[in-house]
Amino acid sequence: MATAPDIDVWRENGVVSLVPSGDWVIERTAELRRRLDQRLREVGAVAEVVCRGERLGRLDTSGAWMLQQAVARLRAHGASVSWDGFTPDRWQFLQHLAPVAEQAVPAPRRTGPLDRLEALGRATAGGGSHLVGALAFLGQLTLTLLHTLLHPGRLRVAATVAAMQRAGVNALPIVALMAFLISIVIAYQGATQLARFGAEIFTVNLTTVSLLREMGVLLTAVLVAGRSGSAFAAEIGVMRVNQELDAMQTIGMDPFEVLVLPRVLALVVMLPLLTMLANLAGLAGGALSAHLLIQISPEQYLIQVRASLTDTTFWVGIVKAPVFGFLIATAGTFWGLRVRGSAESVGRLTTVAVVQSIFMVIAADAAFSVLFARWDW
């Protein structure tokens, strides 16, 4: 039968000693939690705490977890905590749980001016660290690509083709359906406004130009970011959690060569092809809308489409596609490689990868719009 657990608080010369006693085991978890909360309230704000293990009885994972959480709460409030009187085996056992216990304890909320300044500094330092990591990632990817170009036999053809199938071929139905429906929406909205001026025929021009220049490639990129970018981050992240990347490096395989480069190449190749499919499906949707709204035959629709096109209308959208594919693939693989140790990290960084890739795609599209306007494309 487990001995009742307890924890005593001793104060001497400004140092607080926490002395756990009894059996800290799972059967006594509820009782132990109440005693810990009470004792930590008694301790309050202190500068130095010593956790002593001479009187501790049995200790299992639940008890060790609760003890480490108590220590993490004290450290979160600024206390310096040291250990004394624990056997080497128990000390190592407790230290093994320390990182997870610290993550489970929320940081105390502070709202003073200096605290806000500290938060700003931490955010700035984190942003700088992220920028350095991103530049290092791009540098490593560039070196891997150059090495592969100099030694074509190093290219993982099977992995690249498999990534092209998952990210491109399997996405064909949803991309075509999305473009078809979006073109119908654009045509209906345009026809409603142009009918006020008796210019319904220009609905075809509106649908064609907006689809080929902007909407086709942009919506395809956003869809691929949510579908394939998240998959890249999750796949590599799970491999990181399962220590498959460590095993890969141990046997001399380069994760950039095996995992990152094939996915980047796959999206750079497949996104222009998906964009062309989206354009075709969108034009089909525009033809259907034009026939239903303003009774234009397919032949008249094609004539009006040709009249609305310039030499660069089609290529403006296609030129953007490989750039968008590169941004999506690099964001997904970058955040996948930054996963550390838990399923929560996989989910969180997968979300970050999707949001960041969509943001970069829209920012790049804005930059392209400015450049093409200056070049009169």
CATH number at residue 81: 3.30.750.24
Rg of the chain on CA atoms, in Å: 30
What is the tens place of the pLDDT at every residue in 211-232? 999 999 999 999 999 999 999 9
Domain presence at residue 127: no
On whether both 172 and 284 belong to a single domain, the answer is yes
pLDDT at 39: 81
On whether both 100 and 162 belong to a single domain, the answer is no
> What is the arithmetic mean of pLDDT over 336-362?
88
On whether both 206 and 294 belong to a single domain, the answer is yes
> What is the arithmetic mean of pLDDT over 71-77?
80
Mean pLDDT of all residues belonging to the chain? 86
On whether both 97 and 188 belong to a single domain, the answer is no
On whether both 93 and 174 belong to a single domain, the answer is no
Domain presence at residue 123: no
**Residue 275: C-alpha distances to residues 61, 109, 182 (Å):** 54, 48, 14
pLDDT at 102: 58
On whether both 210 and 329 belong to a single domain, the answer is yes
End residue of a domain, out of 104, 139, 174 = 104
DSSP per-residue codes, 19-69: EEEEEE-GGGHHHHHHHHHHHHHHH-S-SEEEEE-TTEEEE-HHHHHHHHH
On whether both 188 and 331 belong to a single domain, the answer is yes
pLDDT at 376: 80
Instruction: State the maximum Cα–Cα separation within the chain, in Å, rounded to a whole number.
Output: 95
pLDDT at 282: 93
Domain presence at residue 256: yes
The domain containing residue 65 runs over which residues?
Answer: 6-104
Picking from 187, 216, 218, the residue whose alpha carbon sits closest to that of residue 280 is 216
pLDDT at 175: 94
pLDDT band at 101 (very low <50, low <70, confident <90, very high): low
Q: How many domains does the chain have?
A: 2
On whether both 257 and 366 belong to a single domain, the answer is yes
On whether both 350 and 246 belong to a single domain, the answer is yes
> Residue 267 above 80 pLDDT?
yes
What is the tens place of the pLDDT at every residue in 153-196? 888 999 999 999 999 899 999 999 999 999 999 888 888 888 88
Domain presence at residue 231: yes
**CA 341 to CA 239: how far, in whole Å?**
10
On whether both 215 and 285 belong to a single domain, the answer is yes
On whether both 232 and 335 belong to a single domain, the answer is yes
**Residue 55: C-alpha distances to residues 28, 41, 204, 323, 364 (Å):** 17, 22, 84, 64, 63
Domain presence at residue 329: yes
End residue of a domain, out of 65, 80, 104 = 104
Domain presence at residue 184: yes
Picking from 192, 241, 184, the residue whose alpha carbon sits closest to that of residue 215 is 184
> Residue 68 above 90 pLDDT?
no
pLDDT at 111: 58
What is the tens place of the pLDDT at every residue in 3-61? 778 888 888 777 888 888 888 888 878 888 888 888 877 776 666 888 888 888 888 88
Asked if residue 225 lies in contact with residue 349, where contact means CB atoms within 8 angstroms, the answer is: no
Cβ-based neighbours of 262, under 8 Å, separated by 6 or more: 156, 159, 160, 162, 163
**Percent of all residues in the chain with a pLDDT value above 90, rounded to a whole number:** 37
Domain presence at residue 112: no
On whether both 75 and 201 belong to a single domain, the answer is no
End residue of a domain, out of 83, 104, 125 = 104
pLDDT band at 109 (very low <50, low <70, confident <90, very high): low
Domain presence at residue 297: yes
Q: Dig out the tokens for 143 from the structure.
A: 């070196």
> Residue 116 above 60 pLDDT?
yes
pLDDT at 335: 92
> Residue 107 above 70 pLDDT?
no
